[in-house]
A and B are shown apart, each in its own frame.
Chain A
Amino acid sequence: MNPAIATGDALLLERLQRAAFGYFMDYANPVNGLVADTSRSGSPCSIAVVGFALSCYPIAVERGWIERAQAAARALAALRFFRESVQSDAPDATGYKGFYYHFLDMKSGGRVWQCELSVIDTALLLSGILVCGVWFDAENSQEEEIRQLADALYRRVDWLWARGGMETISQGWKPECGFFHYGWEGYNEATILYILALASPNFPLPADCFASWTATYQWESVYDIPYLYGGPLFMHFFSQAWIDFRGIQDAFMREKNCDYFENSRRAIAVHREYARRNPHGYECYGADFWGLTAGDGPGNEELRESGRDRRFFGYTARGVPFGPDDGTIGPWAMLASLPFAPASALAGARNLLENYPRSVPQDRFSSGFNPTLCAGSGGWLSDGWYGLDQGLLVMSIENFRSDFVWKIMRRCLYVRSGLARAGFSGGWLEKENRSE
């Protein structure tokens, strides 16, 4: 490989990763550890973003961007908040049954927007909490408290209650109306949710819940690429920001002679192929301009653009190959592919940086970019940044550079236990278990 390119890539990744991490320093409340969903004024906290932040603080320490004590202080602030905040069925609580509301007030930590008690976002928060519980292993009172709080917060989550009387786990609950009567269907970001729920020492999901979920999987050959289908890219990335699925297989992947890591690579290939085909004729789509995922969008309206009548959407989960696709990509999605398909990821990121720099303001990737809408003025761009995107980027880049988060979670007993209960075996899972 050309050393100059290699050096350039290394510097580029360092620059972009550090800029992404900067979001958590710029948009967090250091008193309670809460982190804003977006950089927009008045944005509430998203508990999932806190989960990503907690996972990124150790990375920042390792990279020398912040001091360990500073990271510990931020982590401790958040863990203390989640431990002490109100857990009840009152509509203005912070959580209930160990779960938390999706969006909280940045100052008070109370529920906002009449949002749902979110099962998946609690799982993402807990993933960050467990990272802290493993990584902060120094023998001092601060880090000892982090470890204790992390364990206590994970143990108290009542996953069994969250089934809401269904076979699989519900997506959410509201005091106003009870459980949402739909669960998880088809492959998506819920893998980590199931792993954590299966491993719970106090409220473990029955092992067959995972099989009930995987029974809804769709293994499809699209553009001659056989893979486990999930339309938006984030579904293939989120769980793998924490868990290293290389070489370990559950029953489904054993049947298909594949693993979830390889599957993500194939999903990326499908996205690139779709962009090359560009069936709707959107501007800029191609082998280095792709990445349909959950993200911000121009808003729900029908407009005439580029000589055709077009329909656009707001924040929604765009996907390939069945849509929805309104010409909006998540600019961060290509770079977030780095652990799985580094050449494609870097080529795509460079394409944006060199040809569409508006989509990477201050080296941070925006949530949505649509070059078809307002094509004459450079396209539509989402305002500001979303914390989820930044966190995923920091973690994905770091896993590519050093397997960092993956190594941490391999040491987490709950993750190993959850994987085993879900039927995963082989690879590092067997080696870790043998070494114990």
Chain B
Amino acid sequence: MPRDTYDLVVIGGGPAGLAAVRGAGHKGKSVALIERNLLGGNSQNAGSIPSKPLLRTARWYADLHNGEKFGGPSLRDIGPDFGAAMARMRRIRARLAEGNSAQRLKAAGVDVYFGAARFAGDDSIDASGQTLRFRKALIATGAVPSHPSIPGLAEAGYLTSDTIFDIPECPKRLLIVGGGPLGCEMAQAFQWLGVHVVIVQNEPKFLPLEERDAAQLLSDALARCGVEIHLNTTIAAVRCDAGAQYADLINNDVKSTIAVDRILAGVGRKANVGGLALEAAGIDHADAAGVRVNSFLQTSNPHVYAAGDVCMEYRYTNAAEASAAVALHNAFSPGEEKVEALTIPWVTHTDPEIAHVGFYIWEARRKGIPVGTITILMHDVDRAVTDGEEDGFVKIHFEDGTDRILGATIVGRHAGEMISVLALAMTRGTGLRSLAKVVFPYPSRTGAIAMAAEAFVRTRVSRGNRSARDLGVDPRPGIDDARKILD
């Protein structure tokens, strides 16, 4: 039986929604959560959580097959056990889901309603026939896979992030449409698990929004593990024939056809705003971009907020949770925290991983900020060398003339862990000079960040006093030098 009026009603039990209800509970607010499918949302059930165990098992096979790199034998005859890998993934997914169960939420004082939600007015929501009145509401319905408009694809049938982790058997050949983070992660995982993977990307590089050299290293890594790569390529049509699926590819003027067993569409996600009757509550929204919010994550209905994939440009679990905290805070203390103030790192969990936080160089330059970059190659990092994991780099972007960190990109096997150091530094306003004073463990991969900070200090201190020879550069030839050599 619903309360007369809830302090907070949350629509959507994914990371944003769960973070909001827990936070509201800690604040002593009365809170209801409406979820129409599975608690945990995409992250728990079809995204971050299920992909990671698969990637870990896949990486284990990759290391096994390249054992020589680490001083052991390369055991290429040991084929991957796809079934065992999937079974492990499902066990882990179930174990981690327990923490977000309805029972736990109820025990914490959250009223949980399963079913569809629709706004019934400015201050009420219909949840499967029950009317929930609220003082504040939070829309956290997340995003759903976009469907590529490729002729014949729907008829042929395809997998998405919602369904790939429940496939009953291992396909021999898998076509992945889209070279974003999901597509690249799955390409590598499935290739290492014994599938012949073809990945088609309609841009010149993978991860179109990512740093160029990072995307190049990823492309090299995918090629090394055997993925068949088609960049600058679109799929003109798909059809089925005798149990196989055929895709017609176009790369400028070059046409080809490939045969595969399954197709995974990883072309991004769009906000999940369908069926919410947002108009009834006066909430502005757009189909793909989702709910329109201001810097405080407040919608056009002043008592309704939004958080997570339904309104954020960057669709990551940590962004969802962080934005939920901002929205929750503002719901009860209006106008205090801006979402733009968040420093949100993100990671593509391929091998090497690609992690980023803050500005890209082009973003800073577009804003007219003079930017420099300190680059440390992993082949100069002792721990990366000892562990045979030298592919990658640390790039830290700073505002030229200061030591303010604008952003960073890290490529390497543990980039997703390393980026936290930069996220912390940026959140706390710690510049490179202060970072250079931090003592890091040795040998460690995070030592690369220390090396970058030290390089910054070293080159700034001697800036203007360094001769060409100090830089390791030949003296600049003067007008007479050619004559001295040649005459």
Contacts and interface: CB of A to CB of B under 8 A. Distances in A.
Contacts of A342: 474, 477, 481-482, 485
Contacts of B204: 182
Interface stretch (B150-158, B282-290, B371-379): B371-379
B427 interface: no
A220 B204 CA distance: 23
Contacts of A185: 212
B458 interface: yes
A387 B456 CA distance: 42
A221 B471 contact: no
B476 A255 contact: no
Nearest to B471: A225
Contact of A321 (B212, B372, B377, B487): B377
* Range of interface residues on B (Cβ < 8 Å): 35 or more
Which range contains the number of A residues in contact with the other chain? 35 or more
B455 interface: yes
B68 to A, nearest CB: 7
A155 B400 CA distance: 41
Contacts of B213: 322
B374 A221 contact: yes
Nearest to B392: A322
Contacts of A321: 375, 377, 393
Interface in A222-266: 222-226, 255, 262, 265-266
B395 to A, nearest CB: 7
A114 B362 contact: no
A401 B5 CA distance: 87
Nearest to A344: B474
B374 A225 contact: no
Interface in A263-311: 265-266, 268-269, 272-273, 277, 279, 308-309, 311
Given A10-B487, A177-B253, A311-B224, A265 B373 contact: no
Contact of A402 (B393, B474, B477, B482): B482
Contacts of A262: 476
Prevailing SS type, chain A contact patch: mixed
A277 B458 CA distance: 20
Contacts, number: 124
B375 A220 contact: yes
B292 to A, nearest CB: 27
Interface string A4-24: 001001100100000000000
A312 interface: no
A177 B252 contact: yes
A231 to B, nearest CB: 8
Contact of B486 (A9, A174, A176, A277): A9
Contacts of B375: 220-222, 321
B473 A174 contact: no
A6 B484 contact: yes
A215 interface: yes
Nearest to A347: B474
B471 A269 contact: yes
B472 A273 contact: yes
A323 B366 contact: no
A218 interface: yes
A6 B485 contact: yes
A215 B371 CA distance: 11
Nearest to B372: A219
A1 interface: yes
A149 B459 CA distance: 51
Most buried by A among B224, B371, B481, B482: B482
B468 A114 contact: no
A343 interface: yes
B473 A269 contact: yes
B473 A266 contact: yes
B459 A221 contact: yes
Given A222-B375, A265-B468, A1 B365 contact: no
A221 B455 contact: yes
21 contacts: A1-B485, A177-B253, A180-B252, A182-B232, A221-B373, A221-B374, A221-B375, A221-B456, A255-B400, A266-B473, A268-B473, A272-B472, A277-B380, A311-B224, A322-B216, A322-B217, A323-B217, A340-B474, A342-B474, A342-B477, A400-B477
Interface of A: 1, 6, 9-10, 13, 114, 116, 174, 176-177, 180-182, 185-186, 215-226, 255, 262, 265-266, 268-269, 272-273, 277, 279, 308-309, 311, 321-324, 339-344, 400-402
Interface of B: 66, 68, 74, 203-204, 212-213, 216-217, 220, 224, 232, 250, 252-253, 361-362, 365-366, 370-375, 377, 379-380, 390, 393, 395, 400, 455-456, 458-459, 468, 471-474, 476-477, 481-482, 484-487
Given A221-B373, A226-B459, 14 more contacts: A9-B485, A182-B203, A182-B232, A223-B472, A224-B455, A269-B473, A321-B375, A322-B216, A322-B393, A342-B477, A342-B482, A342-B485, A344-B474, A401-B482
